[in-house]
Structure 1
Amino acid sequence: MKVVVVSDGPFGERAYDTIKKEFECEYIVLDIPKPESIDDFTEFPNEQLEKIKSADILITYTLNPDITFDLVEQVYDNVGYVIVGAWKGKGLKNQLESFKNVICPDIMCELVENGNKIFDEFVSKFGKPKVEIKVENNIATKINVIRDSPCGGTDFVAKDLLGKNISDIAVKAGLRIQHYPCRAGRIRLFSDEESGRYKAATFHHDAFEKALKKKSGE
């Protein structure tokens, strides 16, 4: 599987660093000339466009909504699935998701399988956190990350909590993800940042709690 992460500036590199550990991955910072008017159609460099079209999974972290829409519109038919990591407003979300293979998650660590073979292969490794915990004498002696958040936050939390008492490990997981620091919500102009951070904390809390319940046979 080939994953291409596309950015127009500040976001995306951390996802690239995480994803390349599991899949072939390329990070592209778009080189786009400033349009002369707001009505101009975005022209992407041919070399970059061809690399993007070769992706099985395309993840966009472009903050300009016009660039995001123009890019997705030009390539969605060539790639397996598009994950829009940064989007602004429900109107844009609805437009983008009208394409057959595009998803605009509120935060990247909420991704779960949807029945699409290519998307599900990616989400088997990255998306909503999933862990397994080995416990001895109420201590987490081993924490396996089954599914990491695309930013690498789940792995960060797992390493931090290794060797800790399990009595409050789920609560600590929810707190520690925000010390990564979690960027959930920061890349959406009209989003509630605190809501995004709360979701990320809840997902990590629940992942560790579920792992403990599975371990105890509940």
Structure 2
Amino acid sequence: MLRDLNSVNNKKELTLVFIYSGEYAERVIRNLINDLSFCKSCDVYCDSCKYNVYSHVRNILAAIQLTDPSKLPAFIDNPEKYMPKKIPKADLCIASGLHKDLLLEIPNQIQKLGIKGLIVPIEDFTEVPSGLRKQLEERCQELDLETAFPKPFCSLEPAEDKPVISRFVDELEVGRPSLEISTVRRGKSEIIDSTVVRRSAPCGSTWYVAKKLIGVDTKREILYDAIARAHHSYPCTATMSIDPELKEPILHIGGYMIREEVEKALDQG
């Protein structure tokens, strides 16, 4: 599996601050910095497909872990008391797994520092229900902050009206997956010969799926089964509960997207 090295340019590096609780944000952070001990999905068959290919460690100025919501009061009247004492100035904040009242306080805190945008990934709709998301959107609009609430995180795409968030997707090459795939004929079958990850899901699952596709027949039922098994096995940690807005489990939405991107890559190849 191949991938181009990140190009070096003269543009100032995009800077990030993570404010989080729980394991999901840690998965994203470890994927972004390309932690050598992070991806163990292939176990003894690991061929280090993604290591030494990229590292965004310099983009992350801080990863600030807050108290687990289950250990906090159900309602917090003074959320600033529980917020970090110091947050470095960055371009973008990513908030995940936080107590709802602390999440509502985030826009006030980051706007004072000159942070320009907020991404709140939604892997479980109970953490960020639609009403809370609407409140956050309205508050961020008042403060002139860019916002994105990708559900799941691997649905995030660039948008013309969100230049800072678009830089996150384009420069760190994470968000909705993008692949290049080449095939070969073997007898009557068309087999996937090589894959290139152009953009990965923020958790890094695209690398694993891409590797598992090599040698797979492109017949739809065989291909779909291989994609689904790899996506689940990585594993995807989005909720399996049915989302009230999507009418599907968020995990399934992530699976459909990687399947669509594989098909797109095959059509373009």
Q: TM-score range by the shorter chain?
A: 0.7 to 0.9
- The aligned amino acid for 1:89 is P
Does 1:69 pair with 2:104? yes
Equivalence for 2:155 = 110
- The code of the aligned residue for 1:82 comes to L
Distance (whole Å) between structure 1 residues aligned to residue 200 and residue 247 of structure 2: 21
Q: Distance in 2 between matches of 1:195 and 1:36?
A: 26
CA offsets per residue over residues 35-88 of structure 1, 9 Å max, x none?
A: 7973223332323xx22xx22221111331111111233214522321112442
Structure 1 match to 2:210? 158
* Corresponding position of 1:39: 77
1:192-212 Cα offsets, whole Å, 9 max, x none, are 895201101100100000000
Amino acid at match of 1:45: P
CA distance in 2, matches of 1:181, 1:102: 27
2:193 to 135, 138, 141: 141
Aligned partners of 1:65 and 1:19: how far apart in 2?
26
Pairing partner for 1:81 from 117, 122, 126: 117
**Alignment of 1:56 onto 2:115:** no
Which runs of no fewer than 5 residues in structure 2 stay unpaired? 1-13, 35-54
Q: Is the alpha carbon distance of 1:2 and 1:186 closer, same or farther for their aligned partners in structure 2, counting shifts above 3 Å?
A: farther
1:34 CA drift (Å): 5.4
CA contact (8 A) 1:130 1:147 kept: yes
Change (3 A) 1:144 1:94: same
CA contact (8 A) 2:27 2:203 kept: yes
* SS state at 2:105 partner: helix
Q: What residue ranges of structure 1 are gaps of 5+ in the alignment? A: none
CA pair 119-69 structure 1, distance change in 2 beyond 3 A = same
Paired with 1:45 and 1:19, the residues of 2 have a C-alpha distance of 22
The question of 1:180 aligning with 2:234 is answered yes
In structure 2, the CA distance between the partners of 1:143 and 1:72, relative to structure 1 (3 Å rule), is same
Question: What RMSD, in angstroms, separates the aligned Cα atoms of the two structures?
Answer: 2.8
Work out which of the two has the higher radius of gyration on C-alpha atoms and give 1 or 2.
2
Residues of 2 paired with 1:105 and 1:203: CA distance?
A: 13
Cα distance, 1:154–1:185 mapped onto 2, change above 3 Å: same
TM-score by length of 1: 0.83
Q: Which stretches of structure 1, 4 residues or longer, exceed 4 Å deviation after superposition?
A: 31-37, 186-194
Cα deviation, residue 119, structure 1:
1.2
TM-score (normalised: structure 2): 0.69
Q: Residue 193 and residue 180 in structure 1: after superposition, are their counterparts in 2 closer, same or farther (change >3 A)? A: farther
User: Do the aligned partners of residues 96 and 170 (structure 1) sit closer, same or farther apart at CA in structure 2, a change above 3 Å counting?
Assistant: farther
- Look up the match of 1:28: 64
Matched position secondary structure for 2:236: coil
The reply on whether 1:121 has 2:167 as its aligned counterpart is yes
Conserved? CA contact 1:76–1:102, under 8 Å: no
What residue in structure 2 maps to residue 19 of structure 1? 32
Question: Is the Cα–Cα contact under 8 Å of residues 63 and 187 in structure 1 kept in the other structure?
Answer: no
Task: Give yes or no for contact 1:3–1:56 (8 Å, CA) kept in 2.
Answer: yes
Cα drift, residue 9 of structure 1: 3.0
1:11-45 CA deviation, whole Å, 9 max, x = no partner? 31100011224432242212699579732233323
The amino acid across from 1:60 in the alignment is A
The one-letter code matched in structure 2 to 1:91 is G
Fraction of identical pairs, as percent: 26
